[in-house]
């Protein structure tokens, strides 16, 4: 028994020893933890507490740059540049009175303006940077940076700022941007946006917002008491928006702006109007301009109230895109469509002659021709060349208002064109049914007389007239204007290409359209043509003048044009395409209250056509020169 106990005692001795060592180890570890805790909380507590108060983690939003917009040759129309802002984080400001006074002095702003920008912040806003001064110059940025260590809660930040290098030249095409407002944030399409974000407000900036908008990033940083970054914890890089490549030709856009500017200088007053240039083969928009224009850079950083008030109260309406939204009587440019309809309906033959004594009488009313002595016996070709009113009065009466309307709509009038730009207005093509419904009165024959030369209730936009003349130029195909050629990813790959859309055909045989086109060639090329100011050396240009009355003729009949107040003068039109044998470009110009189309609008069209064919001649010469490929 003793022997077994002894064996048992010897077997338990190692286990007992290890147990004591385990207990001792545990107490030792706890003792180390206790000593370290004592060191951190008691010995170094005050120092660590001060350090924790001096440093904090700040989450910064990194705004994404919007995608660039380029013309058909890759020239930048809209881009992004860095802008430096000064902001205040209210919760981190110590001694607000001193800080705000110093900040106002550094920025050379009234103290009241700084107070206004920092007043009323509540809740989460107290912890967020709130911009006090945006897009600082290098001088003011350096001032703030050099004093920032003494201004806790004052920070500087860089953000992408939209920039439009051509400013007024492309304003109505590109549009403008602005901060998303409270009402927009309640709408489903803006569910992914946050307050303070920038969105497209008009033009392509708005229409293609989903492509142009980038993806914001963020950065978590450790900052000290002076607001200096001491460490970056993590970061998500922002992603720039996609690139838009337009069908627009910047050279033609500039030519339009130069032409309107030259006329403004010559007349020494504001010249309002619009110009549209299309490729009649595809519908590509080569130029689209409206004047007077505005500088979209004013909106990029948030437009000032005074600047906004000036724009919206300007009686010349610079914010309106007249090319798409201006609705005007077409005047004599409408005669080409009347001629096409008359040929198609066989109410006249090309050789048939009608007599113009200088006026046309219907009942007790007399309608005059612009040429008081009349044109005499005249056929269709010469009626278009010389723009004889009486000839088209008679054609209009033969067709009637409802047949006129049918063909006008067939050419694209009275409807939206389908261009990838907003907003657009449809114009008006009157019918007997429309008048009865709108005014409660039957249509009168005298109203058909006025409608046949593009007066009366007829209204259209410059873009619609360009589409109609493109159909004459290309033999009957109604194009859909295309402004965006493709959307590119960041690496240059095409995200999607916007193919020309099909617009259908006009209800006129190609042979009749060809005859009308030849007559329009005579308007510019022949001796008695009213559009001779649109001639381009070496190029056969076809076109039509238009003079649309603003007030009744009797009020201004006995006055010289210079004596008529500008607001009562006629609108001036010119629509053209070239070259006549195989048209490549259609150009339509409108000058509000410009007077005669041949003198006011035709020279503007000529300038754009000249620029186009100069470029084409250079391209042909370079292709023919074997050394051209060696040039840089």
Q: Is the pLDDT of residue 183 over 50?
A: yes
Q: Which pTM was predicted? A: 0.83
Higher pLDDT, 439 or 186: 439
Q: How confident is the model at residue 542 (pLDDT cuts 50, 70, 90)?
A: very high
Give the pLDDT of residue 106. 81
Q: What pLDDT is stored for residue 305 in this prediction?
A: 86
Euclidean distance between CA atoms 426 and 404, whole angstroms: 17
Rounded to an integer, what is the distance from CA 193 to the centroid of its chain? 22
Closest CA relative to residue 210, chosen from 225, 190, 233, 185: 190
What's residue 236's pLDDT? 78
pLDDT in tens, 265-279: 777 778 899 999 999
Nearest to 201 by CA among 71, 117, 308: 308
Question: Looking at residue 124, what is its pLDDT?
Answer: 55
8-state DSSP, 40: I
| 416-445 residue pLDDT tens | 999 999 899 999 999 999 999 999 999 999
Which pLDDT value is given to residue 418?
94
Query: What confidence tier does 623 reach under pLDDT thresholds 50, 70, 90?
Result: confident
Number of helices (H), then strands (E), belonging to the chain: the values are 22, 21
- Pick from 121-135, 450-464, 506-520, 609-623: least confident: 121-135
pLDDT at position 337 is 98
Which pLDDT score, from 0 to 100, does residue 610 have?
97
527: phi > 0 → left, psi -120 to 50 → alpha, else beta; which?
A: alpha
Task: Give the pLDDT confidence score for residue 490 in this predicted structure.
Answer: 86
Region 620-628: what's the mean pLDDT? 71
Q: How confident is the model at residue 127 (pLDDT cuts 50, 70, 90)?
A: low
Report the pLDDT value the prediction gives residue 50, as an integer from 0 to 100. Answer: 52
Query: What's the confidence (pLDDT) of residue 590?
Result: 97
Cα→Cα distances 577→154, 508, 536, Å: 60, 19, 11
DSSP symbols for 378-409: E-HHHHHHTT-HHHHHHHHHHH-HHHHHHHHH
Do residues 403 and 384 touch, judged by C-beta distance below 8 A? no
Q: Give whichever of 28-37, 452-461, 593-602 has the largest mean pLDDT.
A: 452-461
**Residues recorded for the chain:** 632
Contact 508, 501 (CB under 8 A): no
The radius of gyration computed from the CA coordinates of the chain, to the nearest angstrom, equals: 37
**8 Å CB contact between 609 and 539:** yes
List, as own/partner pairs, every contact residues 593-596 make where C-beta atoms lie below 8 angstroms and the sequence separation is at least 24, other chains included.
593/272, 593/550, 593/566, 593/567, 593/568, 593/569, 594/263, 594/271, 594/273, 594/569, 594/570, 595/547, 595/561, 595/569, 595/570, 596/545, 596/547, 596/561, 596/570, 596/572
Q: Which 3 state secondary structure label does DSSP give 425?
A: coil
Choose the most confident range, by mean pLDDT, from 13-17, 366-370, 572-576: 572-576
Q: What distances in angstroms separate CA 434 from CA 32, 405, 413, 455, one per listed residue?
A: 96, 11, 15, 16
User: So what's the pLDDT on residue 266?
Assistant: 74
Bridge partners, residue 539, by sequence: 536
User: Is 124 or 274 the better-scoring residue by pLDDT?
Assistant: 274
pLDDT at res. 15:
59
Q: Could you give the CA distance from residue 78 to residue 248 in angstroms, rounded to a whole number?
A: 13
- The CA dihedral of 477, 483, 487, 488, to the nearest 10 degrees, is 110
pLDDT of 595 reads 85
Q: For 235-244, 284-293, 429-438, 581-590, which range has the lowest pLDDT when averaged over its residues? A: 235-244
What is the set of domains in the chain, with CATH numbers? 57-109+128-246 (3.90.1310.10), 250-487+497-621 (3.40.710.10)
The beta-strand segments (E) located in 89-176 are 130-133, 154-163
- The continuous run of DSSP H or E covering 515 comes out as helix 510-525
Mean pLDDT of the chain: 86
Please name which of 3, 580, 599 lies closest in space to residue 263, comparing C-alpha atoms.
599
**Using an 8 Å Cβ cutoff, are 539 and 528 in contact?**
no
Closest CA to 171 of 203, 206, 207, 210: 203
Half-sphere exposure of 482 (CA within 13 A, CB side): 23
Task: Please name which of 364, 333, 359 lies closest in space to residue 553, comparing C-alpha atoms.
Answer: 359
Most confident range (mean pLDDT) of 209-223, 468-482, 557-571 is 468-482
Closest CA to 181 of 203, 196, 192: 196
Q: Are strands 484-488 and 243-246 parallel, antiparallel or unpaired?
A: antiparallel
Q: What 8-state DSSP symbol labels residue 126?
A: G
Q: Give the per-residue pLDDT at 155.
A: 78
Contact (Cβ atoms closer than 8 angstroms) between residue 201 and residue 176:
yes
Tokens representing residue 157 in the block? 């930040």
Between residues 570 and 21, which one has the greater pLDDT?
A: 570
Q: At what angle do helices 602-624 and 250-267 cross, to 10 degrees?
A: 150
Q: Which two tokens stand for residue 97?
A: 């009175």
pLDDT confidence bin for 632, thresholds 50/70/90: very low
Q: Which helix (H) or strand (E) holds 178?
A: strand 177-179
- The CA distance from 214 to 359, in Å, is 63
Do the Cβ atoms of 537 and 606 come closer than 8 Å? Answer: no
pLDDT(629) > 70: no
Active site residues: 332
pLDDT at 60 exceeding the cut of 80? no
C-alpha count within 13 angstroms, C-beta hemisphere, residue 76: 10
pLDDT tens figures, 315-360? 999 999 999 999 999 999 999 999 999 999 999 999 999 999 999 9
pLDDT at 22 over 50: yes
pLDDT value of position 630:
46
Highest mean pLDDT among 4-13, 29-38, 138-147, 271-280: 271-280
Mean pLDDT of 445-468: 96
pLDDT at 401 over 80: yes
* Percentage of the chain exceeding pLDDT 90: 56
Beta carbons within 10 angstroms of residue 165's beta carbon:
13
Buried b / exposed e across 175-197, counting CB within 10 Å, b at 16+? bbbbebeeeeeeeeebeebeeeb
Q: What is the pLDDT of residue 43?
A: 58
In the predicted structure, residue 6 carries a pLDDT above the cut 50: no
* pLDDT above 60: residue 136: yes
Q: Is the pLDDT of residue 500 over 80?
A: yes
Identify the helix (H) or strand (E) that includes residue 313. Answer: helix 305-313
Query: Does the pLDDT at position 562 exceed 90?
Result: no
Structure confidence at residue 268 (pLDDT): 74
- The pairing of strands 542-548 and 571-578 is antiparallel
Task: Give burial (CB, 10 Å; 0-12/13-18/19+) of 415.
Answer: middle
**CA–CA separation, 495 and 475 (whole Å):** 33
Q: Which residues pair with 78 in a beta bridge?
A: 69
Q: Of residues 494 and 20, which shows the higher confidence score?
A: 494
Rounded distance between C-alpha atoms, residue 213 and residue 57, angstroms: 28
């Amino acid at each position: 028994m003793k022997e077994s106990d002894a064996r048992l005692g010897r077997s338990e001795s190692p286990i007992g020893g290890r147990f004591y060592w385990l207990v001792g180890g545990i107490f030792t570890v706890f003792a180390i933890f206790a000593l370290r805790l004592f060191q951190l909380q008691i010995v170094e507590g005050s120092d660590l507490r001060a350090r924790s108060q001096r440093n904090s983690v700040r989450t910064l939003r990194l705004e994404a740059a919007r995608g660039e917009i380029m013309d058909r040759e890759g020239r930048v129309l809209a881009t992004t540049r860095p802008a430096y802002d000064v902001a205040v984080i209210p919760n981190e400001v110590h001694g607000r009175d001193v800080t705000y006074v110093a900040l106002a002095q550094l920025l050379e702003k009234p103290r009241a303006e700084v107070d206004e920008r920092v007043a009323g912040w509540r809740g989460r806003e107290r912890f967020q940077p709130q911009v006090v001064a945006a897009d600082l110059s290098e001088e003011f940025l350096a001032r703030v940076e050099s004093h920032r260590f003494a201004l806790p809660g004052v920070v500087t930040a860089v953000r992408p700022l939209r920039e439009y290098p051509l400013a007024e030249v492309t304003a109505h095409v590109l549009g403008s941007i602005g901060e998303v407002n409270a009402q927009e944030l309640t709408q489903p399409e803006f569910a992914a946006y946050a307050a303070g974000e920038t969105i497209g407000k008009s033009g392509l900036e708005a229409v293609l917002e989903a492509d142009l908008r980038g993806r914001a990033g963020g950065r978590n940083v450790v900052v000290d008491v002076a607001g200096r970054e001491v460490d970056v914890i993590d970061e998500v890089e922002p992603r720039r928006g996609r690139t838009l490549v337009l069908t627009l030709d910047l050279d033609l856009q500039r030519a339009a702006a130069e032409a309107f500017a030259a006329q403004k200088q010559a007349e020494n007053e504001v010249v309002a109007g619009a110009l549209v240039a299309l490729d009649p083969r595809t519908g590509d928009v080569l130029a689209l301009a409206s004047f007077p224009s505005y500088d979209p850079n004013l909106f990029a950083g948030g437009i000032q109230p005074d600047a906004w008030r000036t724009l919206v109260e300007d009686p010349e309406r610079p914010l309106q895109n007249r090319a798409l939204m201006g609705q005007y009587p077409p005047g004599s440019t409408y005669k080409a469509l009347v001629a096409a309809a008359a040929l198609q309906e066989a109410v006249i033959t090309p050789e048939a002659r009608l007599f113009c004594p200088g006026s046309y009488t219907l009942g007790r009313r007399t309608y005059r021709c612009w040429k008081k002595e009349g044109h005499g016996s005249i056929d269709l070709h010469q009626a278009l060349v010389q723009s004889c009113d009486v000839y088209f009065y008679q054609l209009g009466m033969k067709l009637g208002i409802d047949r006129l309307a049918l063909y006008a709509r067939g050419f694209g009038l009275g409807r939206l064109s389908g261009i990838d730009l907003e907003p657009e207005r449809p114009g008006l093509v009157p019918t007997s049914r429309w008048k009865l419904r709108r005014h409660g009165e039957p249509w009168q024959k005298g109203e058909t007389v006025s409608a046949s030369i593009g007066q009366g209730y007829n209204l259209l936009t410059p873009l619609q007239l360009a589409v109609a003349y493109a159909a004459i130029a290309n033999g009957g195909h109604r194009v859909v204007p295309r402004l965006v050629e493709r959307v590119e990813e960041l690496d240059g790959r095409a995200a999607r290409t916007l193919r020309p859309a099909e617009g259908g055909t006009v209800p006129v045989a190609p042979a009749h359209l060809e005859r009308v086109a030849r007559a329009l060639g005579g308007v510019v090329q022949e001796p008695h043509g009213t559009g001779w100011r649109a001639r381009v050396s070496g190029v056969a240009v076809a076109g039509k003048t238009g003079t649309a009355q603003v007030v009744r003729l009797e009020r201004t009949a006995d006055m010289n044009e210079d004596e008529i107040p500008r607001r009562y003068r006629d609108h001036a039109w010119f629509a053209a395409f070239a070259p006549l044998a195989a048209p490549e470009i259609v150009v339509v110009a409108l000058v509000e209250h410009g007077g005669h189309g041949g003198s006011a609008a035709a020279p503007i069209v000529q300038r754009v056509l000249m620029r186009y064919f100069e470029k084409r001649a250079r391209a042909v010469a370079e292709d023919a020169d074997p050394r051209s490929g060696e040039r840089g």
